[in-house]
Amino acid sequence: MIGVREAKKILARNIRQLPDEMIPVSDALGRFISKEIFSPIDVPPFDNSAMDGFAFCHEPNKTNYRIAANIQAGDTATYSLKKGEAARIFTGAPIPKGADTVIQQELVTVINDIISFDKASVQVGDNIRLCGAQCKVGETIMKQGTCITPGVAALLSSIGLGHISVVRYPKVKVIITGNELVEPGVLLRHGEIYNSNRLSISAYLKLSGITDAQFVHVKDNYEELRSRVQEALKACDVLILSGGISSGEYDFVYRVLEEEGVQPLFYKVRQKPGKPLYAGKKDNTFIFALPGNPAAVIICFNQYVKPCLSFMAGNGKPFSYSVLLPLAHDWVKKTPLANILKAEVKNGEVTILSGQDSFNLQPFVSVNAFALLYEEDTKKNKGDLIEIYYW
């Protein structure tokens, strides 16, 4: 049995980034680019106006110009101004030849196609966006591993890219075990419970960008479980199992994985909840066997599965997403194990919620984070900084 820190270090040493794929930029939100991107064009591709106003060639003591042209954004004609001429111009429109300044329309008086203004209201070069001010052709605009946010998507579009090379998402298969589980909507019989793990894992995968995971429910039957594991190991990057990983008479997961040649990375972590967590690999497939208790499933996914999926999809720093925040109250840890606790962050402080049992999902109405207390932590006082992991 190992500690939380060591478990994460082992995972970090063993996970691998997946190959890349080309996808539309419109579908790339949250993805990580697989290679450096160089701008194929200057942006802006021409000098253009930053204001609705008038373009002209600035002369220090001249404050009257004759309007000789009208230039809208998107106008593809070429305009030239002579000395003493101005062009009515709109935001984003190309600057005409011979002009070096734009004065905003609110500072101008127009009478009979003549503009006039106070010479103190404008300086040479005002309100012009220069060609290449954002980026120049051939310039590196983003590095490998950049996450595509709405702003990055806009940047990619601004240089004319419709498709982008990103690290592909992992192919995931999920096996939920347990005789007692039935799907929501079915009338429960004595001894049965609803299968909440399927939905929580599915929801967490979707938060990680993975929308096409395949799920199967397997009874506590050795032969059926082994058959399903054999199928999954041939067809996925990540296999997630839920339940059946403890040491009970009907817990077959560890035995099946061992017999299928899965190399254990670790089995059992000194933590609560989720002590019987298992991680392993076979060839290029990563395997996580999570406990069956529903809150433990969610917490183990947050701490171990989520960062590994993120790294495989291109995130270079998957285990560095915690923050330190002050505790809103005193807290005494009751076990020598590390505790991963349901918590609520509010007004910059952390409240550890009641209902920490691994079966209890009720606190998740308020949970927006998880608090991690390590084995050596015994008591935390109000105001002490503790490690927080958001969803």
Nearest to 242, CA basis, from 202, 270, 210, 211: 202
Q: Are residues 278 and 353 in the same domain?
A: no
| Residue that terminates a domain, selected from 279, 312, 345 | 312
pLDDT of residue 320: 83
In a domain, 318, yes or no: no
Confidence at residue 194, expressed as pLDDT on a 0 to 100 scale:
97
pLDDT one-digit tens code per residue, 20-31: 999 999 999 999
CA-to-CA dists, residue 15 to 161, 212, 297, angstroms: 31, 21, 20
3-state secondary structure of 255: helix
CATH of the domain at 85: 2.170.190.11
The answer on pLDDT for 321 being more than 90 is: no
**pLDDT tens-place string over residues 351-379:** 999 999 999 999 999 999 999 999 999 99
| Mean local confidence (pLDDT), 95-109 | 98
- Residue 188: per-residue pLDDT: 96
DSSP string, 125-159: TTTEEPTTSSB-TT-EEE-TT-B--HHHHHHHHHT
Band (pLDDT 50/70/90 cuts) for residue 72 is very high
What pLDDT band is residue 94 in, cutting at 50, 70 and 90? very high
- Do 125 and 137 belong together in one domain? no
- Residue (of 175, 288, 291, 282) closest to 228 by Cα position: 175
| Arithmetic mean of pLDDT over the chain | 97
Is 242 found in the same domain as 195? yes
pLDDT at 319 (0 to 100): 86
Per-residue pLDDT, 338: 98
Q: Could you tell me if 242 and 197 are in contact, meaning their C-beta atoms sit under 8 angstroms apart?
A: yes
Sign of the torsion formed by the C-alpha atoms of 147, 130, 76 and 72:
positive
Residue 65 CA to its chain's centroid (Å): 53
User: Whole-model pTM?
Assistant: 0.90
Residue 225's SS3 state is: helix
Counting the structural domains of the chain, the total is: 4
Q: Are residues 230 and 299 in the same domain?
A: yes
pLDDT bin (cut points 50, 70, 90) of residue 317 is confident
The DSSP string of 276-300 is T-EEEEETTEEEEEE-SSHHHHHHH
Let me know: does 13 contact 311? Beta carbons within 8 Å.
no
- Report residue 323: phi and psi, to 5°: -135, 160
Predicted pLDDT at 85: 98
- Is the domain of 88 the same as that of 143? no
**Percent with pLDDT over 90 in the chain:** 97
Indicate whether 158 pLDDT > 90.
Answer: yes
Asked whether residue 305 falls in the same domain as residue 381, the answer is no
Amino acid 318: pLDDT: 86
Contacts for 386 with CB less than 8 Å, ≥ 6 apart = 324, 325, 326, 327, 350, 371, 372, 373, 380
How far is 1 from 291, CA to CA, in rounded Å?
Answer: 15
For residue 30, what is the domain's CATH number?
A: 3.90.105.10
Distance CA 23, CA 27 (A): 7
Question: How many CB atoms are closer than 10 A to CB 169?
Answer: 23
Expressed as residue numbers, the domain containing 143 is 24-43+133-167
DSSP string covering 163-218? EEEEEPPPPEEEEEE-TTEE-TTSPPPTT-EE-HHHHHHHHHHHHTT----EEEEE
Residue 275 has pLDDT above 90, yes or no: yes
Q: What is the pLDDT of residue 216?
A: 98
Which tens digit of pLDDT belongs to each residue from 166-197?
999 999 999 999 999 999 999 999 999 999 99
Question: Which pLDDT belongs to residue 281?
Answer: 98
Cβ distance 212 to 173 under 8 Å? no
Handedness of CA 24, 29, 31, 37 (dihedral sign): positive
Percentage, residues of the chain above pLDDT 70: 100
Tell me the C-alpha distance between 201 and 190, whole Å.
25
> How do residues 243-269 score in pLDDT, each as one tens digit?
999 988 989 999 999 999 999 999 999
**Same domain as 187, residue 95:** no
State both tokens at 99.
């002009």
